[in-house]
């Protein structure tokens, strides 16, 4: 049983489809701020296949009362909650000097207060993992000071929550993944800003299958935070504030990810999550991502 916040957004639906395709008898709860329209209901009806189930709840993830009621209701009905994909987020591009406090706070709420609310509601839940969908904008992006701050909070919170877990005060591994722009799904971006970003950093929008493989690779490592980038190796930034890089290139260079490392990480999880990862184990050590350069930097 998995919970996906921002579940009807591009990445939420993308990961919902992936889970249902990979997990036997997969069960998913999607949440979003808006009511379920007929159009959205049609989208949901295409997700579930034989043996799987998808439910949608209208929940404002930044509302403590709504979240604290949602989590126990999921566990009460389904008996468990294995993992959380916190995909909810809002962008409102503009220079910070032109933004009102209300506009700034609106962008912060789903990622800052939403993350906190999920953590508090899961204090007694035996999670396998909580994945925080952060962004490479945490390193800075034009017109996104508020969004960068919100994602930076997620990055630090993952480390904080893992310290709590190490002390026995919280359950489940937490990882914050700083995603780039995806080709399909994810936040939309002004074409002019995208062009500037590509020209100055070399970072390109991520193909769906590359992103999914990156996700499993991230989940297969016991780390707090991972930055995933894709682009031209000649122009990708070389001086980033991280201490380890795993790189795949077009010549299909073998990544040094031992089998025992992958298996050890999979064994941390309960059966449902282990099955999900076992089916994708080859992706964790895949050496053919069909892109010019692919980096996970932690």
Q: What is the 3-state secondary structure of 104-150?
A: HHHHHHHHHHHHHHHHHHCCCCCCCEEEEEEEHHHHCCCCCHHHHHH
- Contacts for 99 with CB less than 8 Å, ≥ 6 apart: 92, 145, 146
What's residue 187's pLDDT? 58
pLDDT at position 244: 52
Block means of pLDDT (10 residues each) for the chain, 298 residues, are 94 92 86 91 83 91 97 95 94 81 92 97 93 83 83 95 94 93 69 64 80 88 86 59 49 40 48 53 41 45
CA 80 and chain centroid, separation: 21
CATH class for the domain made up of 2-297: alpha beta
Q: Which residues pair with 56 in a beta bridge?
A: 30
In tens, the pLDDT along 216-271 reads 888 888 889 988 887 766 656 554 555 555 554 444 443 444 444 444 444 555 55
Q: Which two tokens stand for residue 56?
A: 């949608």
Residue 259 confidence (pLDDT): 42
Does residue 130 contact residue 84 with C-beta atoms inside 8 Å?
yes
**Domain ranges for the chain:** 2-297
């Amino acid at each position: 049983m998995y919970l996906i916040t921002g579940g009807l957004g591009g990445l939420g639906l993308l990961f919902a489809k992936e889970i249902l395709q990979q997990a036997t008898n997969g069960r998913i709860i999607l949440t979003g701020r808006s009511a379920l329209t007929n159009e959205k209901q049609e989208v949901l009806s295409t997700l579930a296949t034989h043996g799987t189930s998808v439910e949608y709840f209208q929940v404002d993830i930044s509302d403590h009362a709504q979240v604290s009621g949602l989590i126990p209701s999921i566990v009460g009905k389904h008996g468990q909650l294995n993992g959380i994909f916190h995909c909810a987020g809002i962008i409102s591009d503009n220079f910070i000097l032109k933004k009102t406090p209300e506009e700034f706070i609106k962008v912060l709420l789903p990622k800052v207060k939403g993350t906190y609310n999920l953590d508090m509601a899961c204090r007694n839940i035996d999670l396998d993992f909580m994945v925080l969908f952060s962004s490479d904008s945490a390193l800075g992006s034009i017109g996104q000071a508020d969004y960068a701050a919100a994602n930076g909070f997620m990055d630090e919170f993952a480390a904080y929550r893992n310290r709590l877990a190490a002390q026995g005060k919280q359950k489940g591994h937490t990882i914050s993944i700083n995603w780039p722009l995806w080709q399909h799904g994810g936040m939309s971006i002004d074409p002019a800003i995208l062009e500037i970003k590509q020209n100055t950093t070399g970072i390109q929008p991520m193909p769906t299958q590359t992103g999914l493989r990156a996700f499993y690779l991230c989940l297969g490592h016991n780390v707090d935070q991972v930055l995933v980038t894709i682009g031209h190796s000649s122009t990708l930034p070389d001086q980033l504030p991280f201490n380890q890089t795993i790189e795949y290139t077009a010549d299909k260079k073998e990544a040094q990810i031992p089998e025992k490392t992958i298996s050890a990480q999979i064994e941390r999880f309960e059966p449902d999550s282990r099955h999900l990862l076992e089916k994708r184990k080859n992706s964790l050590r895949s050496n053919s991502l069909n892109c010019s350069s692919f980096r996970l930097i932690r």
